[in-house]
Amino acid sequence: MIVPKPVGVNRKREEKERSEREGRAHADREREGREASSRDRSERRQEPGGFNVSDPDDLKPEDRIPPDIDDWLEELKRKSGLESSFDVQVRQMTFGHKRTGLLFLSCFTKDVSLTEVIKRLSYLDPESLRQGSSALKTFFEFYLPAVQVTVTNSMQKLIEEVMIGNTAFYVDGESTALIIDAKQYPTRTPDEPVLEKVVRGSKDGFTETLLMNVALVRRRLRDPHLRFEILKVGTRTQTDVAMGYVEDIADPKLVESLRDKIQAINIDGIPLADKQLEELTVKTDWNPFPLVRYSERPDVVAAHMMNGSVSVIVDTSPSVIVLPTTYFDLVQHAEENRQNAFIGTYLRWVRFFGILSSIFLLPLWFLFAEHPELRPHWLWFLGANKTGDLPLVLQFLLVEVGVDLMRLAAVHTPSPLVTAMSLVSAILVGDIAVKTGLFINEVILYMAVAAIGMFATPSYELGLANRIVRLVLLLAAFAFQAPGLIAATTIIVIWLSLTRSFNSPYLWPFIPFNAGALLAVILRRPRPKNKVRPSINRTKQNVKQPLATTERGAGESERHG
């Protein structure tokens, strides 16, 4: 028998269930409203070139811009050095009964642009201000004569933008400010690169200004898929770093890995620019060999980017980092591609011979001079009739140090005195040292050949690393004769084969072996034969010259011919 429940109990349960349903519906409506509001704010923020303001709720209370201009000025005194640093200045004016302020650094300000901004402020309609509309938005949309303008309601963001040279425009009663790009950096015109000179070809090189360097690359690579992502490194220096790549060619994993490494840097600053950034991202530690390539030439950087490489441009640096790189990338020069294929191949072989000579010539000559029984008959001319007053190994070490001292002296000596310094050094080392018996002629001769081979190395960093290798081989030959030289060479080759530059084998295409790529290193192929990109870069598009296009072009040439 079923006993009916009291009517009051059922009514209470129904009311409770109805209230719970209404509560859930109300919560759903509130959530949908918040999501819609969030979407609206997101859409407003993403509107290109519009008056986009972030949600104030996303900011900490102490990071919001004060709506009162007096409070704003007090914040600037505490956080930006206003009144304590002479170059931090505020220009206050009143327009439409509204107090305004322009915050800028006098050392970076473009006076003509800011004068035009102040002139246009007088065009503000006082009636629009009395009707309650935003004076800042009105000025932004109708009167502001500037190309690059953004909006912010973050005090920290405002100060950071001013510190890099922009100008902040503030209106009393507004909790937002305009960031106007009216800066000009000390700069110089593009000059011929110092380390990568060519006989024929462009003479413009990178400068210390990031925008100038980006423009030099874009001038040569007018691809809409070319991307330059701007990042900041250093809590104090706030150094601008631009990561460039061709979107439909570069390996996405390489781009993402590099971006993550740069964003993960937590340091107070990198005032020495690209070299410090390299050490923070590549983790070279004590490895003397360069794991990235530095270039001063925009055409070289553009060529590498078209092959799938990623470039890193650091503000205030006149050189650009190209990665990943291999040992054989570092021994190639732009001059080879400025000549025809035959001459380019000849120049490449001469350079290879000079680099190999700078590494192995001194250790081999020392080994044959100390142990004539190891010398082949066809190398009868190698050796020394007399060894001098000092042991040969000590002579080589002293000459190595002497060459480095002369190189450093040439760098630090004023240009008008370099020639005189070189003559004095040559006379002292090359003439007097031999006549007094301190050195023998052969040591000076072979050291000079090795030094020329080092200077012929296109990469300055690789030339210095090869010098360290030469010293290691020389000491190994002195300590353990021929077995020591062979063992040291083998260990260095194995070590380099295990070295990787952003997950790319350093000795590719020799180890791991790739016959086609190695042939392209040995021979400077004609351009029509160079149809594919290096596989080491793992590019999205491996083919540079589609077969159909090449065949169609050849057919048209035959018809016109």
pLDDT digits 0-9 by tens, 362-418: 899 888 888 888 888 777 777 666 776 788 888 888 888 888 887 787 777 777 776
Give me the helices (H) in 164-251, please: 210-220
Q: Which residues contact 480 (CB under 8 A, 6 or more apart)?
A: 487
Please check the confidence at residue 3 and state whether its pLDDT lies above 70: no
Percent of the chain with pLDDT over 90: 43
| pLDDT on residue 547 | 55
Q: Give the confidence band of 550 by pLDDT, cuts at 50, 70, 90.
A: very low
Contact 338/201 with Cβ under 8 angstroms? yes
Q: In this predicted structure, which of 1-5, 8-12, 156-160, 292-296 has the lowest mean pLDDT?
A: 1-5
Q: What average pLDDT does the segment 33-39 reach?
A: 51
User: What is the separation, in whole angstroms, between the first and last Cα of the chain?
Assistant: 108
Share of the chain above pLDDT 70, in %: 83
| Burial class for 483, CB neighbours closer than 10 Å (0-12, 13-18, 19+) | exposed
Query: With left for phi above 0 and alpha for psi between -120 and 50, is residue 285 left, alpha or beta?
Result: left
Confidence category of residue 555, pLDDT binned at 50, 70, 90:
very low
Hunting for tokens 């709720």 — which residue is that?
Answer: 57
Q: What is the pLDDT of residue 403?
A: 81
Average pLDDT score, the chain = 83
- Mean pLDDT for 183-196 is 86
Tell whether the model's pLDDT for residue 249 goes beyond 90.
yes
* Exposure string for 491-510, b = 16+ CB within 10 A, e = fewer: ebeeebbebebbebbbbbbb
**pLDDT band (50, 70, 90) for residue 556:** very low
CB 290 within 8 A of CB 331: no
User: How many whole angstroms separate alpha carbon 225 and alpha carbon 228?
Assistant: 10
Q: What is the DSSP code string of 151-173? A: EE-BHHHHHHHHHTT-EEEEETT
Domain ranges of the chain: 58-180, 210-325, 337-505
Mean pLDDT of 276-299: 90
pLDDT digit string, tens, across residues 302-357: 999 999 999 999 999 999 999 999 999 999 998 888 889 999 999 999 999 999 99
Q: Is 95 helix (H, G, I), strand (E, B) or coil?
A: strand
Phi, psi of 86 (to 5 degrees): -65, -25
DSSP 494-534: HHHHH-EETTEETTTTTTTT-HHHHHHHHS---GGG--B--
**How high is the pLDDT of residue 559?**
39
Q: What is the pLDDT of residues 143-166, one digit of tens each?
A: 778 788 889 989 999 999 999 999
Q: Token match 């290109």: residue?
A: 48
Q: Confidence class of residue 240 from pLDDT cuts 50, 70 and 90?
A: very high
